[in-house]
Structure 1
Amino acid sequence: MSERVARTEGGDGPPDPWLPQATVLVVDDEPGMRNFLVRTLGPRCLRVEAVGDTVAAARLMDAQHFDLVILDNVMSGRTGLEWLQELRRDGFFNEVILITAFADLETAIEALRAGAADFVLKPFRTKQILNAIARCLDRAALRRENFVLKRALGASPQGDAGERLIGASPQIARIREMVARAAALPTTALITGESGAGKEVTARALHELSPRADKPFVPVNCAAIAAEIIESELFGHVKGAFTGAASSREGLFFYAQGGTLFLDEIAELPPSLQSKLLRVLEDKKVRPVGADREIPVDVRLIAATNSDLAGEVAVGRFRADLYYRLDVFRIHLPPLRDRPEDVGPLAHMFMEQISAQLGVPPLPIGADSLRRLEAYPWPGNARELRNTIERALILGGFAEADADAVGEARTDSLADIEKRHMLRVLAAAGGNRAEAARRLGVSRKTLDRKCADWNV
Structure 2
Amino acid sequence: MKTLNTLILDDEPVWVDNLSQLISELPVEVNIIKSSDPKQCASILESVEIDLILLDLMMPDINGLQIINEVHCLYPNITLVVVSGMDNLATAVECMRAGASDFLVKGSETELLQQRLQTILEKTNLEINYRSLVDRYFEPNAEFDANYASLISRSPKMQQLIGYAKTIEHSHAPILIQGETGTGKMTLARCLGGEHAIERLHCHSDSQQWLQQLLGYSRGYQGFGQPQLGLLHKLQDGYLVLSQVELLDSYAQSVLFELLNHHHYSPLGTDAQLPIRTRIICTTLVDLQPFVDAGKFRADLYYKLSVHRMRVPPLRERTEDLELLVPHLLQQLSAEAALAELPNNLYELLRSYPFPGNISELSALLTEAWYQGEEQLSLQVLTQRCKTQPNSNSAIISHKVVFPNPLPTLTETNELLIKEALNRCNGSQKDAAALLGLSPAALCRRIAKL
**What TM-score, normalized by structure 1, do the two folds share?**
0.49
TM-score normalised according to structure 2 size? 0.50
